[in-house]
Structure 1
Amino acid sequence: MLGPVELQLFPSCYNCMSWSADGEIAVAAGEYVQILTPKQTTEKGANGSGSQATSQNWNVTRIRVNVFTNQEWPIIYPQKRENFSIGPEQSLSTVVGLAWSPPGLAKYRRCILAVLTSSLVLSFYDIGPQGKWSRVAIVNDCLNPYFKSLVDDEELRLRKFNIRAFSWCPPLKVPVAEQRATDYSVPPSESRWGMYFLAITNDDNDEVLVHTRRSTDVTSVSPYSFEVLSHTSVDEHLEDYQTTQPGTLFSSALKARTRATSISAGPWIYQPTRDSTSVCSALGNVAITWGTKLKIVRHVITLMSADQQTSAAVKYKVRCDSDEDTTSHGGLPSNYHLTGPLQWLYTDESFEIGLAAASFAGMFVLRFSRAAYQGQKAAGQVQVKEFPFYETTGVGMGDDPPRHWEQTTAMVIALDEESQTPILHLGTVGGYTATMTLSGIQQSYGLPQAPWKRQLENVREQLDIARDLGGYTIARIWGLASCDGLVVAAITVHTGDSIEYRTSAEERTTLIFSHANTELTESDLVLSRPVPDRSPDTLRKQREGVLGYILFVENGDYSRLSLSRKLLYAAACCAIVDSQNEKVLSQARKALDWLASVAKVDLADEITKCSTPGNTIEAKSTEQLNGLGQHLFEQCAICDAGMSWYSAMEAQCAAGHLFVRCGVTFLAIQEPGVSKLCSRCGIEYLSEDLVHDELKHTCRLLSDVFDTCPYCGGKFQA
């Protein structure tokens, strides 16, 4: 699976690729985006060889992203020259940028795909129940109402809600106190997955921070909501822009056309809260390439409890204070010239944070101490070093090799899983590659080549030999992405001795893979996913965690029970049948005692069986099913017979009809089309969106807690 993969496309932009935490690779290809999803395979081998064999291990989906309705993208008529350009307004909406969100934002805690088109529209794409990708939200829609109250000029607002660049911020996870080993409570989703923020720049050179969340209300018009937290202008005064002679007409025209082209969000650093009502506070920086200059905008996020909010989905009220940091990058030379992407280099435990900025024929690296990153003024806390790029072949004048002048087209951070060291990988349009670590910022010698450089040369040489070009071939790097310690590079090869002409049928892009700091080995050519441990003892221990959460809900105070009584009875019966934990069995007895007193049902048989583990519960009689306990006991949907309890994984009625039990509610799944599956281990669950009885509210509450498979950690699929 990790061998070279050849795709029939040509990239439409630099940084053309993104790799999600779920393992999906998205590649920008003009009017389309191609998504590669790894197939579920555990075999140690593959039929065929080369890119043909590895391509068969990926599911390739192509989605068209340049088709908008008039409501999604209104028609813009010609405006004044200052606010209108025939480029974005009349473009074909080809892809100019894309990135997967951090995991947890999309449904079933997957990653959402954000796609920026040349029409300056940023859209979200997600996969539906039938496996069809579709547009689910447009970020630009939140900018117009926000700036409408701030800008009176309608024509100027056109530039305010056009998006030039974007970057996902790292998820902001709300700290929680350490829980006791006997506590079965689960931290909230904001602590497990975090809160999601999107940093964007518009056509008027404003940096805007947007809080993004997924709506859990099925009646909501859009599945995603956006809240603009702050905006900061990154425009400079005309006399400070030193690319040209200040005061000239050319300088004025150049200043008016200068745009923020690249953006990258740095890590969040938690700070003590100043207000006693605040939950937590964190600081983060966003680096922006404005023209050829570097800008850094500082954001301070403060979370406050939102108990008075009308929506139950909004648990925290977010307050953001933003301003431009003019001191952190003051050590850069006044004549530096940024031409490419930006990338932050850090780990959560590192004492220093690096920022790599691609420049003309090289790269600048800023090294921040944690104090300098937070804006604390101290001398010598920000170190700046330039790394010029040199050609690896050829001889220049004197002792120095010739400089490499091609533009940097891609940067990515890959984490070495063994040493937990972040490694920067970069590539240029001319095929130059390099890697660097935080400790390598102080080195005086050149940057080492990337571990995937040899594979790039192999692909280039294959074209050279096939067409007998005598070495006149060129390899171009269009994008880099990383996931779980692996790096993938998107490259194309071209003839170098003549003008190249190719049709759409001849377009080819090759994806090559490597580890963060080493090349691939023979065993890596086929990536085998580990099989989850499905042994009875392991499943029983994992089930006890689910049972503990249900039985200990509200700390055992069932008078405030938010779950259905039918679920509570099923959890108690499952503990009797499957659990060997004395504490869980004791709590199951308390739950049954409460149910017997509230529902006025005879549960003496179940209560007596809580004393010893490994018992079974016979099916209820017709009189019991039609009596006061009809809302507690399970009944076969086919023959109306009672359901016996002998297993936590399956159920059988008195007439012999067999059903699978849900992995969380432990209720029998008796109807087709009301369940979801774990994409990794295949365990079946009742879907909170498909059940239509009294269990819908209960399933929705449990889906927020057990949003991934509690037995293997896999993501769900419809």
Structure 2
Amino acid sequence: MSSGTRKDNILPLESFALTAVPASTHNVVWSPDAELAVGCDDCVYIFIPDFTIPKSQNGRDPGIVRQYNDVALRFPSVEHRSPELNRPLFDYVGQEFPEFEFVPGGGGSGPVTSQGSSMNHLISLEWSPCGLGRMNRSVLAVLTGAGTITVYCEGASDRKNAFKPRGRNARTLLPWVAAWGVGAGLLLPVVEGHEVEYVKEYVTAFAWARDTDGYGALLAYANDEDDIVIVSVQAKHDPNADAGDCGQWRVEEVARFTGMGPHPKAHQNDPDSFPSGSSFSLSWGPWLKKGASKSSMISYVARGYVGFRQVTIDSPQHKMASPKVRVDQVDTDGVCLYLAQDAFVVWEDLIWTIGQSKVCRGIIATPMLAKAFQVSFDDSQSGKIVRHTAYECGSAYPDIEDDTPPHNPITGLVIHPPSLSQTTRTPSYSLVRLSATHENDAWYQTNLPLPPNPEDETAGPRWATEINQIVEHQLPRAMAYRAVVDGGSVGSEDVSDEDEEMETESFEGSNYDPDEGFAGIDTEDQVHINRVRIWGMASSPGGGVTAVFISQHNTVFYGRDTFAGIKCRVLFGRHDSSAEKSEEALTTLAMKKLSTEAKTWEWMYGGGPPVPGVGSSTIQSSESRSALKDHFELVVRQQVCSFCKSPLRSDGKMCWCGKGHPFATCATTGLPILAPGLSRTCNVCGSKCLNRENLIVMAPQLKDIIMDEISDEFCGNCGGKFVN
């Protein structure tokens, strides 16, 4: 598929380069609205999707189409925040702000971390569910080496000075603001009846729970004392707030339990002791509704053990009020197995009914091996979990019978959307490992069905093909080591570029002739000159596209992991080489609870179904939208031109007066927009909708309808979120 062309309504995916130095794995994450965040050693890159649909002019190719704006937001994440950052949280719930002597950085009981000796590099990051940020968007939580989680959100901006890439209104790229944090002296309020002693915690891992139906979100974090804390997070934002405002937040600790597991801690001098901590040890499963309540499983990784604890939220729930959260006293289930550092768990986003039991499934990355599991909500196995040593259950050492390469850890694993018509024994998944070389064929693995032509080298995601081309690139040995013989210090980019022009330049001064080839050089003796590190993999909200973050290194010359010496790229791909989705796959994507932004992304790049109100599939008026516009029909007739005061006539998207003065119409009500600053622009379809307060001024008799049926955050045409 040529660049910039569409095939079956799918646009090509364009990779991009980054000037970055990755310091940890699992550092690429996708938000529920298709925003992409990439973590580096001391900063975060945020890429905002561009939903502009390319249009060819005079039958010409529209050129390269990039799924993200050319300009990205980059902000540092290493600052040590003062406890004063959380003072508004205590003021909101009416609790006294705890006063204690604060020393910047550090926390917990570790010999290094308690002294604040960390460089505070970025460890992990994760997007929240929708609803916590401005315009019902997500916020980004970042964990750093000082043991602190900082939550960043998009601050209010001046709509008059909004950044306009490609000649249209778009979201601003102003620096995001730190709303609140936890860990290393950043304390949180606690709900009534839940007692806790305020100490400087050192946070080791965290995870957001999945969407809780518009009533905020739950955040779980673990500290170095093996405590697992559940925090309720809610927020509300004023659409007309001053620039930089981060909104009002209600953040409270609602539960805490010990996640130590059945194995006793080994002494550091024990010869059988091994490091087993994980910065990605927490993960939430899907929610199961049980009458008036809903439950979810939270998994935690301990020494040689993965535990599953059930968390329940009781109804009724109210916005900006403390939820009723209950945590079981013991684990519902658990698995004993050998776990090395940075083991993690990934859940399938579906609850199966097996007999009379509700079951959820997932994959445990040890991280050398991928182990499938399933947990029942109804059949508790807590009675079988008793205290024992790692020798008794065989989890002290790895299983020597496993034939998977034991020294290449899994750095990214995604579970693909399940098929409702065909049940498999294990979830469908794809994984990547840290190191990709020409001698290692297991850096990409999947249990998806084989393509129709197994010999097709391009089968699978596009990024896998690109990585394979990089690691398989070869040069004659004499050419590859020429700089070493000459005493030069050529960087990796001088010999590892795939472009033919760059490759020819590297042969200058040698016996290479473009017509006759190499004179006097053994071209049979070839060496591979590249290797790749794969730092993370993430799946788009609908599962149609995956992204990987890689760095390219040279196998011949030494290199420096600095901004000048390392090449980083973000690659994209689909897991169906033909870029065609079956009707069942389209139905699966449509059934998911996706935002309009996510649905549009899947339609444009992942092979998802068309989105009503976007592009050629625009629906001018649904029944509900027509009924709403009928209420404003009389108000529309009363509007006159702002310049000549003559009556207006409408053709649907525009209004005109007799003298030809044009006015855009509100996509929600059909009213003309008679002055600037009265409306908001949709980030997806570009439609304009009048602000709710302006509608009340224009039609005070319809105030109840306006407040009940018209949103101040969502577009009335497609349901997308406003720019600001």
Task: Determine if the TM-score, normalized by the shorter chain, exceeds 0.5.
Answer: yes
Give how far 1:84 is off. 7.0
Equivalent of residue 42 in structure 1, options 49, 54, 60: 54
1:686 paired with 2:690, answer yes
Give aligned pairs, total: 572
Q: TM-score, normalised by structure 1?
A: 0.66
Cross-structure match for 1:408: 410
- Paired residues of 2:689 and 2:716 also in contact (CA < 8 A): no
- Paired residues of 2:362 and 2:372 also in contact (CA < 8 A): yes
Partner SS, residue 676 of structure 2: coil
Cross-structure match for 1:117: 144
Cross-structure match for 2:130: 103
Q: TM-score, normalised by structure 2?
A: 0.66
- Paired residues of 1:489 and 1:513 also in contact (CA < 8 A): yes
1:187-235 superposed Cα distances (whole Å, 9 cap, x missing partner): xxx4xxx642222223433222223223145689851523435323324
- Paired residues of 1:102 and 1:111 also in contact (CA < 8 A): yes
1:319 paired with 2:324, answer yes
- Paired residues of 1:6 and 1:508 also in contact (CA < 8 A): yes
- Paired residues of 1:488 and 1:511 also in contact (CA < 8 A): yes
Equivalent of residue 621 in structure 2, options 521, 528, 541: 541
Match for 1:31: what amino acid? D
Equivalent of residue 701 in structure 1, options 682, 695, 707: 707
The 3 A distance-change label for structure 1 pair 195 and 457 is: same
Equivalent of residue 661 in structure 1, options 647, 665, 668: 665
1:64 paired with 2:85, answer no
The 3 A distance-change label for structure 1 pair 510 and 77 is: closer
Cross-structure match for 1:144: 188
Match for 1:404: what amino acid? P
Partner SS, residue 504 of structure 1: coil
Give how far 1:650 is off. 3.6
Match for 1:669: what amino acid? I
- Paired residues of 1:13 and 1:97 also in contact (CA < 8 A): yes
Cross-structure match for 1:579: none
Cross-structure match for 1:14: 25
The 3 A distance-change label for structure 1 pair 699 and 504 is: farther
Give how far 1:439 is off. 11
- Paired residues of 1:8 and 1:509 also in contact (CA < 8 A): yes
**What is the rounded CA distance, in whole Å, between the counterparts of 1:634 and 1:664 in structure 2?**
16
Structure 2: gaps of 5 or more residues: 1-11, 87-100, 163-171, 386-392, 437-441, 451-458, 481-494, 497-502, 504-525, 581-601
1:289 paired with 2:301, answer yes
Equivalent of residue 255 in structure 2, options 211, 218, 231: 231
1:26 paired with 2:37, answer yes
Mapping of residues 375-390 of structure 1, within 5 Å: none
- Paired residues of 2:364 and 2:372 also in contact (CA < 8 A): yes
The 3 A distance-change label for structure 1 pair 55 and 66 is: same
Mapping of residues 146-185 of structure 1, within 5 Å: 146=190, 154=198, 157-159=199-201, 162-173=202-213
Match for 1:93: what amino acid? N
Equivalent of residue 364 in structure 2, options 357, 360, 363: 357
1:424-483 superposed Cα distances (whole Å, 9 cap, x missing partner): 22222123445556999xxxxxxxx97453332112234878359812643221111111
Mapping of residues 417-428 of structure 1, within 5 Å: 423-428=428-433
Structure 1: gaps of 5 or more residues: 174-189, 273-279, 307-312, 391-396, 441-448, 552-567, 575-616, 618-632
Task: Return the structure number with greater relative CO, CA threshold 8 A, min gap 6.
Answer: 2
Equivalent of residue 710 in structure 1, options 709, 712, 716: 716
The 3 A distance-change label for structure 1 pair 527 and 127 is: farther
Cross-structure match for 2:228: 207
Partner SS, residue 472 of structure 2: helix
The 3 A distance-change label for structure 1 pair 21 and 149 is: closer
Partner SS, residue 78 of structure 2: coil
Mapping of residues 565-644 of structure 1, within 5 Å: 568=631, 570-572=632-634, 617=637, 633-634=638-639, 636-638=641-643, 641=645, 643-644=647-648
Match for 1:211: what amino acid? S
Give how far 1:169 is off. 1.4
Match for 2:432: what amino acid? G
Partner SS, residue 456 of structure 1: helix
Answer with 1 or 2: which has the greater Rg: 1
**What is the rounded CA distance, in whole Å, between the counterparts of 1:145 and 1:699 in structure 2?**
37
Give how far 1:322 is off. 0.4
Mapping of residues 376-525 of structure 1, within 5 Å: 403-415=405-417, 423-431=428-436, 432-435=442-445, 451=461, 452-462=463-473, 466-467=495-496, 470-471=527-528, 473-483=530-540, 484=542, 485-496=544-555, 499-516=558-575, 518=577
**What is the rounded CA distance, in whole Å, between the counterparts of 2:298 and 2:615 in structure 1?**
47
The 3 A distance-change label for structure 1 pair 690 and 123 is: farther
The 3 A distance-change label for structure 1 pair 304 and 254 is: farther
**What is the rounded CA distance, in whole Å, between the counterparts of 1:438 and 1:324 in structure 2?**
38
Match for 2:179: what amino acid? A
Cross-structure match for 1:263: 282
Cross-structure match for 2:177: 135
Give how far 1:302 is off. 0.9
**What is the rounded CA distance, in whole Å, between the counterparts of 2:375 and 2:106 in structure 1?**
44
**What is the rounded CA distance, in whole Å, between the counterparts of 2:471 and 2:528 in structure 1?**
9
Cross-structure match for 1:603: none
Give how far 1:329 is off. 1.6
The 3 A distance-change label for structure 1 pair 12 and 700 is: farther
Give how far 1:76 is off. 1.7
